[in-house]
Amino acid sequence: MEHAYGGSPELVRRVANWENCSIPFSKEFGWERWSLLLLGDCVLNYIQGDIVEIGVCESSIFFTKMARKYGRKVYHCDLQQSVVADCLAVDGYFDEEKNSIYVGTSDDFFKETKFTPIALGFIDGGHLYDQVKKDFESLFELIVSNGFIFIHDLLPPSEEYLVETRCGDGYLLRKELEKRGDIDILTFPFTAWNAGFTVIRKLPKNQPYYLESGRKE
């Protein structure tokens, strides 16, 4: 799970300067960076289960705040100790007593962690197709019916982004997922650094025909 990181404790403090409202919203960045993570607040309001985050960074403060609001647990994972250290330097960024912070590869994270049922997952780790696919498949097994997975970097805005340190070739997974009949999927082209924010819902099994997806495997 390799990925580039350009943050700092100062940056995460700016991100974590919240609007005075019941859902997390950064005063500094508004809609421009991670505002679509606010969809997770809606998910947690209706779906029981905890949270998984692959790739610790600005997103972590959103999930921590949502978890506190709804009494959920967050399983954080990142390969880079320096990223975790930056976030730990900011008061309130993690709930260390309740949540789990795993420093290592996402492959080992899924092998070594005993998870509760998961309502919401976020993937922003390795950006190459093989790794994104493995992360998705491992997380999808944990997601409850009607639960959601968010994935970053699956809609690169230009060919310059088709490198491992940006979006890589993870967009190939998006193309595959768009053909599946067991999920709903939508990708926002804006916010989230304008590199694509993909929203996936795990459809319940054995639904009446009028609730089934029109797509086929």
| φ and ψ of 22, to 5 deg | -80, -15
186 DSSP 8-state letter: E
CB of 113 closer than 8 Å to CB of 51? no
- pLDDT tens-digit readout, 77-88: 999 999 999 888
CATH number for 9-211: choose from 3.40.50.12280, 3.40.50.150, 1.20.1050.10, 3.60.20.30: 3.40.50.150
Structure tokens at 28: 């500094």
Residue 8 pLDDT class (50, 70, 90 cuts): confident
**What residues does each domain of the chain span?**
9-211
* Helix, strand or coil, per DSSP, at residue 23: coil
Share of the chain above pLDDT 90, in %: 72
Instruction: Record the pTM.
Output: 0.92
Instruction: Give the pLDDT score at 4.
Output: 47
**Lowest mean pLDDT segment, chosen from 41-45, 126-130, 212-216:** 212-216
**Spatial separation of the C-alpha atoms in residues 40 and 94, rounded to whole Å:** 17
- Whether the pLDDT of residue 1 is over 50: the answer is no
